[in-house]
Structure 1
Amino acid sequence: MTTDHVKGTGHALDAFTRTAQGAANTVIDSYSTSFGMATRLLGARHRQHVRNIYALVRVADEIVDGVAAQAGLSVAEQREVLARFRADTDEAVARGYSADVVIHAFACTARASGIGPDLTDPFFDSMAMDLEPGDAPHDAYVWGSAEVVGLMCLRVFLRDESPSVEQLRVMEHGARQLGAAFQDINFLRDLADDLDLGRHYLGERLTDADKDAWVARIRGQLADASLAIPLLPRDARAAVRTAQALFARLTDRVAATPASELYARRVRVADPVKAYLGVRALAATALERR
């Protein structure tokens, strides 16, 4: 039931949208200290939009990563929940409203930034792969689960910009590479959890040589992504630099950890190091001329 005050002002939708955005913020604060810290370095015009994207992605991911199963849902029922969440998202993006606060927040961002089925369809296709028997094809899964999320964030950053064709090409490649790097390093640090779920995103039991090959690939992805950062709007660069630096440091930690240990514990970057990397990214951005 709405209050008389909200009814009287005629801004009930605005009040609902603010509530939806608050719910998106709660999701990111609950699930990711690293990503949450990076988004705080975004300019105000981008910050909430990126948080709205993260919230939708996280809720969808939780549907297929054990939460629904722990609630007692069969695989068929999990597929049904995911399909309903996907359909509700498509409808909300088309209409500009959803009764689901996380979906509503995302829909507002999608409509403002030009995020459409070209990005949401691959994302939900990848989420559905997690509920199918057998291992998902790595490149197809990473494209939908991570690269398109990078492109969603890029559309937020560029919604008021007019980059050249070449600049857009470099930035889109960088966004895809950064998303892929995030996903691949998370695969390496989540080997134990994924094994419990019967998933082998990077292949069967990894050797140290296998791990080293993936680390080399990730470092290449992060290097490609760094080339695009100076082309981003200034008020997006520090946050993206911080995220890139955090995952580069995490990659170093993984590189120094034997593969057998990765199956036993999840490596992390200490909070003081995260803070230092954020300050360093802010300083680097401040020194840029444009």
Structure 2
Amino acid sequence: MPERPTGIAADDLTRAYAYCAELTAEHGRTYNLATRLLPASRRHAVHALYGFARHVDDIVDVTAVDDPEAAIRGVDDAHSRLHAALAGVPGPLDHTGLVVRALADTIGQYRIPIDYFEAFVRSMRMDVPGTPEFRPRYGTMEELREYMYGSAAVIGLELLPILDVDDPVAPPAAAALGAAFQLTNFIRDVGEDLERGRLYIPLELWSAFGVDIDLLQECRRTGAMDPRVRRALAHAVALTRAEYRKAEPGLEVLPDRIRPGIRAAFTLYGRILDEVERSGFRVLDRRATVPRRTRAAVMITEYVAGSLLRKR
């Protein structure tokens, strides 16, 4: 297991964690709201996990569109520099250098298995044209789950040491919660992903309802909703809610001081599915978002619950 790296200056580490917090606040609204309910001593580590994942994901989502070779180099650079940072040689203080400093310190501090991050990088390479792993779409749910293990399930597993959770119920629940969050994103972002030439919801699910790529692209272009598409998305939502149900027992084994933050994320991501359903599954020409007042209400409820638990 790794230890906290030496060779990273304290001032640089402070700056690195601050940068990861900025990334979380800017790009992960739901995630960031939930982290505010965590103890301050744990919050910075959660920001580090998000910061590295966001940084690599941006390389894949933005750079790969115009320059896949540059995206491959970027992902490989982040991967190699993480290992260098773990050895105490983090390199320049650019954006990559900041996120790997924070993550290397977090990995060492909480003794998070490095295999989780290897799986994450492999899944990110599955999103980049030109890599041997590249998969622009998935035929079966089994194939998608292979991708989601590295891109989502391991995120939940990485959080367990940070949240000080050691219960046999926790790992499968954490993996299910990561999968539930990512499936929620896949449903919400079907239209945007089509624009990038990707489709994550498996072809076997679409075809079971008579939907093919041409129909999805037509709905994206015209804004019309075909009943077959609506039925397929309703089934995808049902599968995703099943993942939330698998994850829910894990909430009960979380420490009292941690549970409100994770439950807030659990609730808020579930509300995205509510908004998808409320819109009539119109995710091809728009993006479902949870209203600000709803997010605030969930946060207040969990904050109050957390305050009562802390007073026990």
- Superposition TM-score tier, normalisation by shorter sequence: 0.7 to 0.9
- Aligned residue for 1:44? 40
Matched to 2:238, the amino acid is A
Whole-angstrom CA distance in 2 between matches of 1:280 and 1:143 = 31
Instruction: Percent identity, please.
Output: 28
Q: Relative to 1, partners in 2 of residues 1:210 and 1:44: Cα closer, same or farther, differing over 3 Å? A: same
2:111 to 111, 114, 128: 114
Q: In the alignment, what sits opposite 2:223?
A: none
Aligned partner of 1:142 in structure 2 is 148
Once the 2 structures are TM-superposed, how far is the Cα of residue 133 of structure 1 from its aligned partner?
5.2
Shift in alpha-carbon separation, 1:175–1:12, aligned structure 2, 3 A: closer
| Separation in structure 2 between the aligned mates of residue 270 and residue 133 of structure 1, nearest angstrom | 33
Paired position in structure 1 for 2:75 = 82
Deviation of 1:274 (Å): 0.6
1:125-204 aligned within 5 A = 125-131=122-128, 132=134, 134-136=136-138, 137-158=143-164, 163=166, 168-203=167-202, 204=213
Residues 250 and 268 in structure 1, CA contact (< 8 A), matched pair in contact too: yes
- Supply the distance in 1 between the matched residues of 2:182 and 2:280 (Cα, whole angstroms): 20
Normalising to structure 2: TM-score of the pair? 0.80
In structure 1, distance between residues paired with 2:52 and 2:135 = 24
1:15 counterpart residue number: 11
The residue matched to 2:112 in structure 1 has which SS?
coil
Q: Structure 1: which 5+ runs fail to align? A: 1-10
Using a 3 Å threshold, how does the CA distance of structure 1 residues 229 and 94 change in structure 2: closer, same or farther? Answer: farther
In structure 1, distance between residues paired with 2:234 and 2:86: 41
SS at match of 2:47: helix
State the match for 1:272 in structure 2: 293
Q: Could you tell me which amino acid in structure 2 is paired with residue 37 of structure 1?
A: L
Cα contact 2:176–2:244 (8 A) shared by 1: yes
* Equivalent pairs, count: 269
Give the drift of 1:252.
1.2
Which structure has more helix as a fraction of its residues? 1
Counting only pairs closer than 5 Å after superposition, residues 98-109 of structure 1 correspond to structure 2 as: 98-99=91-92, 100-109=97-106
Contact (CA 8 Å) 1:96, 1:111: kept in 2 or not?
no
Once the two structures are superposed, the pairs formed by residues 88-99 of structure 1 within 5 Å of their partners are 88-95=81-88, 97-99=90-92
Report if aligned partners of 1:151, 1:172 keep a CA contact under 8 Å in 2: yes
Residue identity opposite 1:246 in structure 2: L
Distance across 1 between alignment mates of 2:249 and 2:16: 35
Residue type at the aligned position of 1:39: T
The alpha-carbon deviation at position 77 of structure 1 amounts to 2.3
| 2:53 maps to 1:57 | yes
Structure 1 residue 96: Cα displacement: 7.1
Q: Which digits, 9 at most, give the CA deviation of each residue in 1:103-147, with x for residues without a partner?
A: 101111111111232200110011000012542531111111011
Quick one: which of 250, 275, 283 aligns to 2:304?
A: 283
Match of 1:208 in 2: 230
Q: How far apart in 1 are the matches of 2:306 and 2:236? A: 30
Which residue identity is paired with 1:21?
A: Y
1:4 matched residue in structure 2: none
Moved more, 278-287 or 242-251: 278-287
Go from structure 1 to structure 2 and tell me whether the alpha carbon gap of 1:16 and 1:75 turns closer, same or farther (over 3 Å shift).
same
Match of 1:235 in 2: 257
Q: Secondary structure at the match of 2:285?
A: coil
Q: Are the aligned partners of 2:8 and 2:101 in contact in 1 as well (CA < 8 Å)?
A: no
Q: Decide whether the 8 Å contact of 2:8 with 2:88 is kept in 1.
A: no
CA distance in 1, matches of 2:78, 2:257: 32
SS at match of 1:231: coil
Seen in structure 2, the aligned counterparts of structure 1 residues 26 and 258 have a Cα distance that, compared at 3 Å, is same
Deviation, structure 1 residue 287: 4.9
CA drift of 1:31 comes to: 0.9
